[in-house]
Chain A
């Protein structure tokens, strides 16, 4: 019994040490992530179809390649027309638990990705890098409850804060009677210390909840412009 308790206490102490030190990016962690992410990267880059397949299979494979081509072309187009320097990156994994809304990208510090680099798609804002490893980086999506972004309603220029709520977003701190309509486009205001550039599309107003008598602000439901559940490639903007 003593041995069992000793092992349990030892493992818990190691876990707590890691947890409380909150120091990510140590050499041990960097080494572990390089090893663990390797098969994931191989899996993500594996060709989508076999080389020797019947005609029908080949057609499907070609369609898949064509689709990928279109997506990459749109990203390159965005990169060329953007005033910011960007890097095309592929999504190789997603947050394994149900607690966060995050992605893993196949590009890291080696390619110039830094913490807080903004991640976009041709349709709009996807999130920001919260951790950059040497060869990969983790992105917190705008739908995560921990994500808060300065935003404004494009039509009426009223400013508020967008917070993630899982599948949708909430536009907060808009005074009662503010000029907002369903279908209005919400964009970044560029007001949180320059983290997000101004003018990136975030989402569209879906619903304005009727305020309670004690409410000071409106509660507005916003649907993200980007379909975050099916992201395959993104553009990482280099930190200015």
Chain B
């Protein structure tokens, strides 16, 4: 039963991201709750679970978004995998490390998305995207990370931090 918790959590967070989260936006900037979950799964469950979680989270976001299906799926798959790869090299139980990891994750995702979106859509110049989207969203998301990591740890089936305990 607890194995389906991450799936339910993914769906719940995707709906939250597209509906009520707008009320939490500061100057029009929203945190990326799904990326926090993707990095969390990547860190605690390894690269394969991280990549799968990233792929599913991305597809869900793409369904709510006007972008082509696969845009967020691509960026989040890469980040989920990377989180799993770097996990053995880091002590990620400290809130500061968690926040820092999410800041880097959001930053990298912002870069990937900018390249993808500017190839297919009309986007503002890089400087504008960097200063008004990527940087503030990275900061906002990283600030929420320790709290959400704590919540995720309480409700997802994580018993040890060794690599590749299958959840999917």
Listed in ascending order, the chain A residues whose CB lies under 8 Å from chain B are 3-4, 7-8, 11-12, 14-22, 24, 29, 32-33, 36-37, 39-40, 43-44, 92-100, 102, 104, 130-131, 138, 140, 145-146, 165-167, 229
Q: Give residues in B with beta carbon < 8 Å to A.
A: 11, 14-15, 17-19, 21-22, 28-30, 32, 46-48, 51-52, 54-55, 58-74, 77-78, 81, 84, 113, 116-117, 120-124, 132-133, 137
Assuming the A-B contacts A40-B18, A93-B64, A104-B64, are A16 and B51 also in contact, with contact meaning beta carbons closer than 8 angstroms in the complex?
Answer: no
- Whether the Cβ atoms of B48 and A102 lie closer than 8 Å is no
How far is B84's CA from A3's CA once the two chains are assembled, in angstroms?
Answer: 14
Q: Would you call A18 and B65 a contact (CB within 8 A)?
A: no
A-B interface, 7 closest residue pairs, ranked by CB to CB distance from nearest:
A18-B70, A19-B70, A15-B74, A93-B18, A15-B73, A96-B17, A18-B69
5 pairs from A and B in contact (CB 8 Å cutoff): A4-B47, A7-B48, A99-B67, A102-B66, A130-B66
Chain A residues with CB below 8 A from B15, complex form: 36, 39-40, 43, 93
- Which of A19, A32, A98 contacts B30, CB < 8 Å? A98
Supply 9 further A-B pairs (C-beta < 8 A) apart from A8-B51, A11-B55, A36-B64: A4-B47, A7-B48, A11-B77, A12-B74, A14-B55, A18-B73, A24-B68, A99-B117, A145-B123
User: Could you tell me if A11 and B51 are in contact, using CB atoms closer than 8 angstroms?
Assistant: yes
| Contact between chains at B14 and A18 (CB < 8 Å) | no
- Determine whether the beta carbon of A18 is less than 8 Å from that of B28: no
B58 to chain A, nearest CB (A): 7
- Asked if B19 and A98 make an inter-chain contact with CB atoms under 8 angstroms apart, the answer reads no
Given that A12-B77, A32-B63 are contacting pairs, would A17 and B70 also be in contact in the complex, using a CB cutoff of 8 Å?
yes
Main secondary structure of the interface of B (DSSP, over half): helix
> Does the CB pair A140–B78 fall under 8 Å?
no
Residues of B with C-beta under 8 A to A146: 121-123
Chain B residues in 8 Å Cβ range of A165: 124
User: Using Cβ atoms and an 8 Å threshold, which residues of chain A touch B68?
Assistant: 18-19, 21-22, 24
Residue of B nearest to A44 (CB): B19
B77 x A15 contact (CB < 8 A): yes
CA of A165 to CA of B122 in the docked complex: distance in angstroms? 11
Shortest beta-carbon distance from B13 to chain A in Å: 10
Question: Is there an interface contact between A95 and B66, defined as CB atoms closer than 8 Å?
Answer: yes
Other-chain residue from B19, B59, B69, B120 in contact with A94 (beta carbon distance below 8 A): B19
Q: Residues of B contacting A104 with CB < 8 Å?
A: 18, 64
B60 with A36: CB separation less than 8 A: yes
Are A40 and B19 in contact (CB-based, < 8 A)?
yes
